[in-house]
Homo-oligomer: A and B are copies of this chain.
Amino acid sequence: MSEKRKITLKDIARELGISISTASRALNGYEGISDETIKLVKDFAEKHHYVPNLLAVNLRKNRTSNIGIIVPQIVHHFFSTVISGAIETAKKHGYNILVSQSGDLLKDEIIACRTMIGSSVDGLLISISNETIEGEHIREFLDEGKPVVQFDKITDHLETPKVIVDDFQGAYAAVTHLIDQGYKKIATIRGRLDVKNSIERYKGYEKAVKDHQLEFNSDWIITCKNISEEEGYEFARKLMESKNPPDAIFCITDPVALGAIKFLKSAGFEIPEQVGVVGFSNWELAEIVSPSLSSVDQHGYQMGIKATELLIRLLKDHSLGENETIEVKTNLIIRESSDLNFIGS
């Protein structure tokens, strides 16, 4: 409507018959300004709804007050949870969050990075795509003197602070839980051999099985590629139709577990009585499906907070070169798919 012109420092200086710098200093609480003029200026500013032009401030200070975040997919329960945590934390410190996604494509991740550099975010939070190995495009950020924090899906080729979920411990806990329930022949449908999270989860599985002196059978280890529900269904079939079928399956992620459950149900296996199933990531679907799915929760919101706090600390200290890695503990959520004690209660 009224299209009020935005009032500037210059305006308030002119109106009050003082200099621009005095006005600036008064507003920003500098030393050596009389209380009198401070009050004068502040009152005037308040009254006329003065709000500093961030563009100018930022140009002057050479920063943007923006933090970029790049994830493989936004439409994804875990990542949107992380973003949510990042936004709330950033807000608290006066930063905005600028979101982009790679679609798990290296090509698009590079574009997203370049755009971010171009639009000048002050720092970057990133969970890399499956295709990213070296991450040279991310190094460009570091070269610009801008801090980067990696989270969840990371690469060790980049010397940045990292916030990761303790996949090993999560998997170990999940499999140990299965063992505690009395399952003895535990299989795993694992993820790619070249993705760190996947490797760690597998290691956790292996160690738990061996620590408890259970049968360790390479036929019970199946590697999937798409990490899809279809694969879960197919590989569960393969496992159960083998000569020596397992009595429990630890799955790399919830959709895979869901596929496995679907096969098991269609083939007439009782869950959890005959076969126990545990997934990973605690997707929304875990408590919706029937039987509900035990899963390892990754505390996405916490990760978002931790990663953002870390980045903001770097932003404020300008003490780049830190390389700390925070491991967020996981939390096993036991539901019907593996809970024998729950039966009948």
A residues 47-88 touching B (CB-CB < 8 Å): 51, 53-56, 58-59, 62, 64-66, 73-77, 80-81, 83-84, 87
A258 interface contact, C-beta 8 A = yes
Contact with B along A265-284 (1 / 0, CB 8 A): 00000000000000000001
- Asked if A120 and B3 make an inter-chain contact with CB atoms under 8 angstroms apart, the answer reads no
- Asked if A54 and B99 make an inter-chain contact with CB atoms under 8 angstroms apart, the answer reads no
Q: Told that A55-B62, A97-B99, A289-B290 touch, could you supply 17 new A-B pairs with CB distance under 8 A?
A: A2-B143, A3-B145, A4-B143, A51-B117, A54-B118, A55-B59, A55-B64, A59-B59, A74-B83, A74-B87, A91-B115, A96-B98, A97-B100, A98-B98, A99-B99, A258-B288, A285-B288
A residues 190-230 touching B (CB-CB < 8 Å): none
A180 interface contact, C-beta 8 A = no
A142 interface contact, C-beta 8 A = yes
A10 interface contact, C-beta 8 A = no
Please count how many residues in chain A sit with their CB below 8 Å of the partner chain's CB atoms.
49
CA distance A84 to B101 in the complex (A): 8
CA distance A59 to B80 in the complex (A): 32
A residues 87-123 touching B (CB-CB < 8 Å): 87, 91, 96-101, 111, 115, 117-120
A6 interface contact, C-beta 8 A = yes
Instruction: Specify which chain B residues have a CB less than 8 angstroms from the CB of A144 in the assembled complex.
Output: 4, 6
A343 interface contact, C-beta 8 A = no
Residue of B nearest to A59 (CB): B55
CA distance A263 to B19 in the complex (A): 72
Lowest 5 CB-CB distances: which A-B pairs, in order?
A: A55-B59, A75-B80, A74-B84, A80-B80, A99-B99
Interface of A is mostly: mixed
CA distance A228 to B99 in the complex (A): 29
Q: Tell me how far the C-beta of A128 lies from the nearest C-beta in chain B, rounded to whole angstroms.
A: 18
Contact with B along A241-265 (1 / 0, CB 8 A): 0000000000000000010000000
CA distance A284 to B73 in the complex (A): 15
Instruction: Specify which chain B residues have a CB less than 8 angstroms from the CB of A2 in the assembled complex.
Output: 143
Instruction: Specify which chain B residues have a CB less than 8 angstroms from the CB of A74 in the assembled complex.
Output: 80, 83-84, 87
Residue of B nearest to A258 (CB): B288
Residue of B nearest to A114 (CB): B51
CA distance A76 to B75 in the complex (A): 8
Q: Tell me how far the C-beta of A282 lies from the nearest C-beta in chain B, rounded to whole angstroms.
A: 13
Q: Can you list 15 A-B pairs with a CB-CB distance of less than 8 A?
A: A3-B143, A55-B62, A66-B66, A74-B83, A80-B80, A87-B99, A87-B101, A91-B111, A96-B98, A96-B100, A96-B119, A97-B98, A285-B285, A285-B288, A289-B290
